[in-house]
Amino acid sequence: MRSIREITPIKNDDPFVVLKHKNALFDYPLHFHNEYELNLITDFKGSRTVGDSTEKIEGSDLTLLGPELKHVWKSDSVISKAAVITLQFQEHFLYSKIMSYSVSKDIKKLLELSKRGISFSNPTKEIIYKKMKLITGNDTFKSFLIFLEILHILSTSNDVKILSSPQSANYNEKRESRRVSLIMNYVKNNYKIPIKLSKVAEMVNMSESAFSHYFKKRTGISFTNYLMDYRLGVVTKYLTETNMPINEVCYEAGFNSLSNFNRAFKKKHNMSPKEFKHNYEKEILR
């Protein structure tokens, strides 16, 4: 689905910008921008779309979104009682001097991961709500310290859910291993063809069992599941951004049969590809 680029109000010399809205209407279309965005929404009932993820939300919602990640909220209510506090900060913050210090390593990882979108549940959500209410502007050192504290709290939180798939979010995770980087690049360039575990293990001069253990330790996911997630991410990208027939999407993403494709997609999304596309379009266009 088509999205528009938003021009945010942040200036080059601003550490961040804070925006507060009461009775928010959520009438802005699917969009993206160059900045990071931390959104806290309260008294909300509706849906949230981030990348290829669409979820129903009721109550409060706290999300951190990276640059270029498309997103939109849609309210179920014509008259809204929802309030929104938004912190936006520039993409180059990730590469600033302060992020090069060892004490910032957790925040740096958080910002890398936010390129897929992250939602936070309680108790983190309640803690951040209290902190964000204390920020009155971006022109005091106290507010800047609170901003850094918020990022630190989020970076050490366990109340985390990753929202969008790597492929749909166009997410390039920082690599900690040359071997893992080699394999991920191979998948990126060859996902349309059959990829065997023996082949990728041979590429890094390891046995299949050693490679499987190594890959999972480095990434937190088995190679088989990584490959499946990557292909399903390709699928959702086609479903949300093109009108390609679903049977063509299946083979474009590297699946060798429609039955395997439908089974894998339903296992991940709890719905068929057709239902997913219909629900996504309904949430975006309504």
Q: What is the mean pLDDT of residues 183-205?
A: 93
pTM: 0.70
Task: State the pLDDT confidence band at 172, using cuts at 50, 70 and 90.
Answer: very low
Classify 178-285 by CATH class. mainly alpha
Q: Where are the domains of the chain?
A: 4-162, 178-285
CATH homologous superfamily of 4-162 equals Regulatory protein AraC (2.60.120.280)
pLDDT in tens, 96-116: 788 888 899 899 889 988 989
What pLDDT score was predicted for residue 168? 63
Contact 269, 276 (CB under 8 A): yes
Contact 42, 114 (CB under 8 A): no
Task: State the pLDDT confidence band at 1, using cuts at 50, 70 and 90.
Answer: low
Give the lowest-confidence range in 5-19, 148-162, 243-257.
5-19
What pLDDT score was predicted for residue 173? 46
What pLDDT score was predicted for residue 176? 44
User: Is the confidence at residue 208, as pLDDT, over 80?
Assistant: yes
Q: Output b/e per residue, 204-242; b: 16+ Cβ within 10 A.
A: bebeeeebbebbeeebeeebeebbbbbbbbbbbbbbbee
The pairing of strands 31-32 and 4-5 is parallel
Contacts of 238 (CB under 8 A, 6+ apart): 244, 249, 252, 253
